A and B are shown apart, each in its own frame.
Chain A
Amino acid sequence: MKKLVILGAGTAGTMMLNKLYKELDRDEWELTIVDQYKTHYYQPGFLFIPFGIYKKQDVVKPKYDFFPAGVNVIFSPIDKIVGEENKVLLEDGQVLNYDFLIIATGTQTRPSETEGLKDKLWYKDIFDFYTIEGAVALHKKFKDWEGGNLVMCIPELPYKCPVAPIEFVCLAEAYFAERGMRDKVNISYVTLMSGAFTKPVASKVLGDLLEEKNIKVIPDFYLSHVDNDAKKIVSYDEHEIPFDILTIVPVNMGSDMIERSGLGDDMNYVKTDKFTLQSEQFENIFVLGDAANIPTSKAGSVAHFAAEILMENLLAAMEGRALPAKFDGHANCYIETGHGKGALIDFNYETEPLPGTFPLPGIGPFGLLKNTKMNHYGKILFRWIYWHILLKGKELPIEADMTMAGKKRM
Chain B
Amino acid sequence: MEVKTIAGVQVNVSDDGYLEDMDQWNEDIAREIAKELNIELTDKHFEVLNYLRQKTKEGETLTIRKVGKSGVVDIKGLYKLFPKGPLKFSSKIAGIPKPTSCV
Contacts and interface: CB of A to CB of B under 8 A. Distances in A.
A53 to B, nearest CB: 25
A159 B65 CA distance: 14
Contact of A237 (B63, B69, B79, B101): B79
A340 B71 CA distance: 49
Interface residues of A, number: 20
Contact of B102 (A156, A192, A198): A198
Contacts of A156: 63, 65
A89 B100 CA distance: 37
Q: Helix, strand, loop or mixed for chain B's interface? A: loop
Interface in B53-99: 61, 63-66, 69, 75-76, 78-79, 83-84, 86, 88
A162 B88 CA distance: 21
A164 to B, nearest CB: 11
A157 B100 contact: no
B75 A157 contact: no
A222 B66 contact: no
B83 A266 contact: no
B84 A157 contact: no
Tier of interface size on chain B: 10 to 19
A221 to B, nearest CB: 12
B66 A266 contact: yes
Contacts of A237: 79, 83-84
A224 B65 CA distance: 11
B79 A157 contact: no
A158 interface: yes
A297 interface: yes
Contact of A222 (B61, B64, B100, B102): B64
A362 interface: no
A314 B75 CA distance: 41
Interface string A201-230: 000000000000000000010101000000
Give the residue among B61, B64, B102 with the most A Cβ atoms within 10 A.
Answer: B102
B103 A198 contact: yes
Contacts, number: 43
Interface string B35-62: 0000000000000000000000000010
Contacts of A158: 101-103
Contact of B101 (A157, A236, A298): A157
A323 interface: no
A315 B103 CA distance: 29
Interface in A156-210: 156-159, 162, 192-194, 197-198
A198 B83 contact: no
A222 B101 contact: no
A197 B103 CA distance: 8
Contact of A157 (B69, B78, B88, B102): B102
B86 to A, nearest CB: 7
Contacts of A266: 65-66, 69
B101 A198 contact: yes
Contacts of B100: 198, 295
A204 to B, nearest CB: 16
A375 interface: no
Contacts of B65: 156, 266
Contact of B86 (A222, A296, A297): A222
B80 to A, nearest CB: 9
Given A222-B75, A236-B76, A295-B61, A162 B103 contact: yes
Contacts of A222: 64, 75, 79, 86
A193 B101 contact: yes
A336 B83 CA distance: 36
Contacts of B76: 224, 236
A158 B65 CA distance: 11
B75 A297 contact: no
Give the residue among B76, B84, B101 with the most A Cβ atoms within 10 A.
Answer: B101
A295 B44 CA distance: 30
Contacts of B88: 194
A198 B61 CA distance: 15
Contacts of B61: 295
A159 B103 contact: yes
Contacts of A193: 101
15 contacts: A157-B103, A158-B103, A194-B88, A198-B101, A198-B103, A220-B84, A236-B78, A236-B79, A236-B86, A237-B83, A266-B65, A266-B69, A295-B102, A296-B102, A298-B103
Interface of B: 61, 63-66, 69, 75-76, 78-79, 83-84, 86, 88, 100-103
Given A222-B75, A295-B100, A296-B102, 7 more contacts: A156-B63, A156-B65, A157-B103, A192-B64, A193-B101, A222-B86, A237-B84
